[in-house]
Amino acid sequence: MREAAFTSWPASDAPTDRLDIIRARCPDIDPAMIADVVRAILATMTGDLSSKETALLSEVEELGRTIASAKAEIAAIRADDITGQHIPSATDELDAIVSHTASATNAILEVCETLDQAGGALQAQSAAQLQEATARIYEACSFQDITGQRITKVVATLKAIESKVAQIVAAFGPQDVALMSGPPPEAAIDPQAALLNGPQMAAAAMEQSEIDRLLASL
Amino acid sequence: MPIDKSMNVLIVDDYKTMLRIIRNLLKQIEFNNVDEATDGAEALSKLRAGSFGLVISDWNMVPMTGLQLLQEVRADARLKQLPFIMVTAESKTENVVAAKQAGVSNYIVKPFNAETLRDKIEKVLGHA
């Protein structure tokens, strides 16, 4: 009841006006005492926040606004689509490429095998020419193995990206689960796995002649 | 003394297409007794059960890699002298060094040509 009595203040916010109202409504209370209490409270607050602390508080508030903004932006770009749709779709497409090139390569090899068989009925010179030609086709068909290994590396990279995006979504996304506690623990280094690098880009790859020299030097 | 081309050759690769390519290239140089395995474990099982004169293996396979296969072969009293050629896309220096340390007989980097394959086989079998 007492609180309700003070909820309607006059348009003026001047402290003297308010003290007049208190004096009118509660004649037993000395407004000077109230003024003393307020002054005492204000006195205890003196020096609570230095200018440095005020600046820090401001920075913290700004940081809070930035985090809220980042969360809103992550939610808006629908990052979960990357893990739920885009990357699975990309890996499926890459798998399809491997499958289709394997089918095409096998069809080419089948034709070559037929030509090799037919070469048996030819004269020696013609048979040799045909065999040389099919050997070159066999060599060229090894592209399927190389591209397959390269695509496997790309798929592994995509899956790593998918995992990282999922962690970001979990930390900052709409679900707003607890922040990540830190980077994932380093996996133990497997000496066998460390040597599985797959095909190298042309600039980094060694030629057969370089490998021959290296082997001979060991 | 000519190379005994009637010997059994084991080719190991997890890409069936590559097995087919190597088999056909071997056939062109008259190695007709060719068996296949698609990983190191299967290869080791075949090597222990059979009699082979040459292994031509890929490196990057699961669950047992070509390097592990080579190490197992060299650790096996009956197989340790078996000529072993690594045919792989792994072309880093550390790969060649690791293969050599494990006892590889020769090393061919993919993509390779028929001439390189023939040359290395002749070298490994001692008829270069």
Domain ranges of chain B: 9-124
Does any CB of chain A come closer than 8 Å to the CB of residue B63? no
Does any CB of chain B come closer than 8 Å to the CB of residue A48? no
Residue B7 scores a pLDDT above 90:
yes
Coil, helix or strand for B108? strand
Does any CB of chain B come closer than 8 Å to the CB of residue A145? yes
Q: Please indicate whether residue B6 or residue A74 has the higher confidence score (pLDDT).
A: B6
Residue A169 to residue A176: CA distance in whole angstroms = 8
- Residue B72 is predicted with a pLDDT of 97
- Residue B108 is predicted with a pLDDT of 96
- Residue A114 is predicted with a pLDDT of 95
In the structure encoding, which two tokens stand for residue A110, read together?
């089948």
Q: Which residues contact A39 (CB under 8 A, 6 or more apart)?
A: none
Residue A4 scores a pLDDT above 50:
no
Number of Cβ within 10 Å of residue B40's Cβ equals 26
Among A23-27, A38-42, B108-112, the range of highest mean pLDDT: B108-112
- Residue A170 is predicted with a pLDDT of 75
E strand spans, A40-181: none
Beta bridge partner(s), residue B37:
B12
- Nearest-CA neighbor of B85 among B45, B127, B116? B116
Q: A195 and B100: CB-CB below 8 Å?
A: no
Confidence of residue A7 (pLDDT cuts 50, 70, 90): low
Residue with tokens 């050629």: B85
Contacts of A109 in chain B (CB under 8 A): 17, 20-21, 24
Residue A210 scores a pLDDT above 80:
yes
Q: Average pLDDT for residues B53-78, to the nearest whole number?
A: 95
- Residue A1 is predicted with a pLDDT of 43
Q: Per mean pLDDT, which range of A118-122, A204-208, B87-91, B96-100 is the poorest?
A: A204-208
Q: B112 and A142: CB-CB below 8 Å?
A: yes
Is residue B44 classed exposed, middle or buried when 0-12, 13-18 and 19+ CB atoms within 10 A define those classes?
buried
Q: B100 and A106: CB-CB below 8 Å?
A: no
- Residue A10 is predicted with a pLDDT of 59
Residue with tokens 């001692």: B126
Does any CB of chain B come closer than 8 Å to the CB of residue A114? no
In this prediction the pTM is 0.68
Does any CB of chain A come closer than 8 Å to the CB of residue B89? yes
Q: CA separation (Å) from A121 to A114, A116, A130, B33? A: 12, 10, 11, 22
- Residue A39 is predicted with a pLDDT of 76
| Residue spans per domain, chain A | 1-48, 49-78, 79-177
CATH code for B9-124? 3.40.50.2300
User: B104 with B110: CB under 8 angstroms?
Assistant: no
- Residue A57 is predicted with a pLDDT of 82
- Residue B104 is predicted with a pLDDT of 97
Q: CA separation (Å) from A182 to A60, A162, A215, B67, B120? A: 21, 18, 44, 36, 51
Q: Average pLDDT for residues B105-114, to the nearest whole number?
A: 92
Average of per-residue pLDDT values in chain A = 79
State the virtual CA torsion across B40, B42, B48, B53 in degrees, nearest 10: -70
Listed in sequence order, the DSSP H helices in chain B are 16-28, 40-49, 66-75, 93-102, 114-124
Residue A202 scores a pLDDT above 80:
no
Beginning with the edge strand found earlier in the chain, give each strand of the sheet holding B84-88 in spatial order. Answer: B34-37, B9-12, B54-57, B84-88, B106-109
Among A32-36, A76-80, A157-161, B12-16, the range of highest mean pLDDT: B12-16
Residue B10 scores a pLDDT above 90:
yes
Average of per-residue pLDDT values in chain B = 93
Residue A86 to residue A158: CA distance in whole angstroms = 10
Residue A66 Cα, gap to closest chain B Cα (Å): 46
- Residue A199 is predicted with a pLDDT of 78
Q: pLDDT above 90 covers what percent of chain B?
A: 86
Contacts of A149 in chain B (CB under 8 A): 60, 89
Confidence of residue B23 (pLDDT cuts 50, 70, 90): very high
CA angle A18, A20, A23 (to 5 degrees): 110
- Nearest-CA neighbor of B86 among B115, B53, B121? B121
ipTM, interface predicted TM-score of the complex: 0.79
Determine the residue type at B39: D
Confidence of residue A182 (pLDDT cuts 50, 70, 90): very low
Does any CB of chain B come closer than 8 Å to the CB of residue A216? no
Q: A106 and B21: CB-CB below 8 Å?
A: no
Determine the residue type at A210: E
Q: A195 and B25: CB-CB below 8 Å?
A: no
User: A192 with B65: CB under 8 angstroms?
Assistant: yes
Q: A142 and B21: CB-CB below 8 Å?
A: yes
Among A107-116, A168-177, A185-194, the range of highest mean pLDDT: A107-116
DSSP state of B12: E
Strands B106-109, B9-12: pairing is: unpaired
